[in-house]
Structure 1
Amino acid sequence: MSKPEVDEIDKSSAPLLDHLIELRSRLIWALGGFFVAFLICFYFAKQIFNFLVLPFQWATVWAGMGDTRVDLIYTAPQEFFFTQIKLGMFGGLILAFPMIATQIYKFVAPGLYTNERMAFLPFLIASPILFLMGAAMVYFFFTPMVMWFFLAMQQVGPEQEIQISLLPRVSEYLSLIMTLVLAFGLVFQLPVVTTLLARVGLLSAQALADKRKWAIVLAFVVAAVITPPDPVSQIGLALPTILLYEISIILCRRIERSRAREQAKREAQEAAKAAGVGDAETPAA
């Protein structure tokens, strides 16, 4: 370890008590941000829930039902109230995530080198963006497709002797949306995780490529576990996962090529420096 790096660590070092005080301060800010976001989301819980029902309405249009009016029920007096609390917590966590991530970064950053902080910052920005991309895919495409699949199973109409219609409970519908948003949001973090591991040298593009077959199988297994038990949901989650896996391989290869260029440049500079020192030490004839 070079002397400048040692000096940088010594400057950022602090007693254990100072670290605990700093940790408490960051936790207070993170929990405070989450509590404020929770109150905001809980206050507008009905409006947010109505917004989340819009994909259900789009599915009724896809199913050719004509009427875009949808009916949801709750079978216990307290069910809708607790659903709003759950929605407030879920929305508050998403809304407060930038502040929480910032507090985590501020706590960890003093222990990192300057180049490590600069390398970590883009991933801190990309993570919420990718999560929102996954949530948008769930909202605008995946949820309407899943609800259309379920609506197609109904037995309604004057020609049907037995009428079977879909009347979801508010808690079950919210649980479905939350599960899909979390599943897609976490899956969209795959490029971030793999590139971080590749940057620190714990993962290589060749290792990812060699495990491609296992990754495809695992993608379908995970999709079958965390999505509703229908082929539309499972395939809809597994295919983006496989695509993101291939993107991760490409990003890892770019990082490895960039690291190889930097290493070659560093070795060339060291060789030139060594050659210069050798020439200086050669006595004049």
Structure 2
Amino acid sequence: MSSFQKPDHDELAGTEQPFVAHLMELRDRLLRAVIAIAVCFGALAVYPGPGALYDLLAAPLVAHLPAGTTMIATNVIAPFFVPVKITLMAGFMLALPVVLYQAWAFIAPGLYSHEKRLVLPLVVSSTLLFFAGVAFCYFFVFGQVFKFIQSFAPKSITAAPDIEAYLGFVMNMFIAFGAAFEVPVVVVVLARMGIVPVEKLREWRGYFIVGAFVIAAIITPPDIVSQLALAIPMCLLYEVGLLAATYLGRGAVKPAAGEEAAEP
């Protein structure tokens, strides 16, 4: 029997709260998350400022544009709203640990003690892995993708990307790579919660590899560089998740004899 099964004595018995109390707590948690995002947004708006943040975000693309070429804005208000959106996105990422903590604090009262011990490390690791995925995309993938695309551009064409289109591209790529780097967390959760055994996850390795390349082909732009840059790390991180799940499984507390006897 899994060491994470529900115990004979329900430790959550008597801790139920009225539905209205849950709604009020949810409101408070959401308000704190919004305040954290607003504070980070305000700080980034003051320094380095929305314009500087957009210049930083556009640097990988601008570095591969022809000399003297700049990005363009086809919408009248785009020069104002696009940098503000960038600042809001950066503020959300900066406040992500607080947002995830508020989510954990909201669900924690409904978890068993062994689940509470698992959730907080997962929140921390999820935050770090998401940031790692975004950083990998910005510092490595963007440069390789833009270099590859510009190498195919005809000499008769001068590339002048639109700033709104670039923002949409960047956000999609950041979300894709940030989510892809969460693979080890998903594997550990499936194994530790007893949903899927580690042995079964190892057997599914081949299916996951195929699925990773299919997902990369759908999410990323239609170029081989970005597809490989997403699919290969997903496969490697799947192996990392298997190793972590195996290691953590060895440290799991074995069920008591009374619990084993209670299993049908």
- For the superposition of Structure 1 and Structure 2, which TM-score range results when normalised by the shorter chain? 0.7 to 0.9
Q: Is structure 2 residue 50 aligned with structure 1 residue 50?
A: no
Q: How does 1:10-89 map onto structure 2 within 5 Å?
A: 10=14, 12-41=15-44, 44-59=49-64, 67=67, 70-89=69-88
Q: Say whether the 8 Å CA contact 1:26–1:103 is kept in structure 2.
A: yes
Q: How does 1:229-268 map onto structure 2 within 5 Å?
A: 229-259=222-252, 262-263=253-254, 266-267=256-257
Structure 2, unaligned runs of 5 or more:
1-6
Larger mean Cα displacement after TM superposition, 242-251 or 79-88: 79-88
Q: What CA distance in whole angstroms lies between the structure 1 residues aligned with 2:170 and 2:244?
A: 30
Partner of 1:101: 100
Q: Say whether the 8 Å CA contact 2:53–2:83 is kept in structure 1.
A: no
Cα-Cα RMSD:
2.6
- Could you tell me which amino acid in structure 2 is paired with residue 17 of structure 1? V
Q: 1:129 to 1:70 in 2, by over 3 A?
A: farther
Q: Say whether the 8 Å CA contact 1:131–1:185 is kept in structure 2.
A: yes
Give 1:267 shift. Answer: 4.7
Query: TM-score, normalized by length of structure 1?
Result: 0.79
Richer in helix (by share): 1
Q: What CA distance in whole angstroms lies between the structure 2 residues aligned with 1:127 and 1:36?
A: 22
Runs of 4+ in 1 over 6 A off after TM superposition: none
Partner of 1:215: 208
- State the number of aligned residues: 253
Partner of 1:125: 124
Q: Say whether the 8 Å CA contact 1:205–1:253 is kept in structure 2.
A: yes
Partner of 1:183: 176
Give 1:70 shift. Answer: 4.8
Partner of 2:3: none
Q: What CA distance in whole angstroms lies between the structure 2 residues aligned with 1:209 and 1:137?
A: 26
Q: Say whether the 8 Å CA contact 1:130–1:185 is kept in structure 2.
A: yes
Q: What CA distance in whole angstroms lies between the structure 2 residues aligned with 1:252 and 1:194?
A: 7
Deviations 1:160-201 (A, max 9, x none): xxx212211111222222121111100001111121121110
Query: TM-score, normalized by length of structure 2?
Result: 0.85
Aligned identity (percent) is 34
Which of 148, 152, 166 matches 2:159? 166
Give 1:39 shift. Answer: 4.1
Larger mean Cα displacement after TM superposition, 82-91 or 104-113: 82-91
Give 1:47 shift. Answer: 0.8
Q: 1:196 to 1:70 in 2, by over 3 A?
A: farther
**Pair member with larger Rg:** 1
Give 1:56 shift. Answer: 2.4
Q: 1:171 to 1:251 in 2, by over 3 A?
A: same
Q: What CA distance in whole angstroms lies between the structure 2 residues aligned with 1:9 and 1:25?
A: 25
Q: Say whether the 8 Å CA contact 2:29–2:106 is kept in structure 1.
A: yes
Q: Say whether the 8 Å CA contact 1:41–1:87 is kept in structure 2.
A: no
Q: Say whether the 8 Å CA contact 1:220–1:238 is kept in structure 2.
A: yes
Q: What CA distance in whole angstroms lies between the structure 2 residues aligned with 1:199 and 1:9?
A: 23
- Could you tell me which amino acid in structure 2 is paired with residue 133 of structure 1? A
Q: Is structure 2 residue 198 aligned with structure 1 residue 193?
A: no
Q: What CA distance in whole angstroms lies between the structure 1 residues aligned with 2:160 and 2:62?
A: 13
Q: What CA distance in whole angstroms lies between the structure 2 residues aligned with 1:32 and 1:226?
A: 32
Q: What CA distance in whole angstroms lies between the structure 2 residues aligned with 1:102 and 1:186?
A: 18
Q: 1:248 to 1:141 in 2, by over 3 A?
A: same
Q: What CA distance in whole angstroms lies between the structure 2 residues aligned with 1:222 and 1:196?
A: 21
- Could you tell me which amino acid in structure 2 is paired with residue 56 of structure 1? L
Q: What CA distance in whole angstroms lies between the structure 2 residues aligned with 1:39 and 1:228?
A: 33
Larger mean Cα displacement after TM superposition, 104-113 or 119-128: 104-113
Q: What CA distance in whole angstroms lies between the structure 2 residues aligned with 1:241 and 1:105?
A: 25
Q: How does 1:129-140 map onto structure 2 within 5 Å?
A: 129-140=128-139
Partner of 2:4: none
Q: What CA distance in whole angstroms lies between the structure 1 residues aligned with 2:115 and 2:136?
A: 32
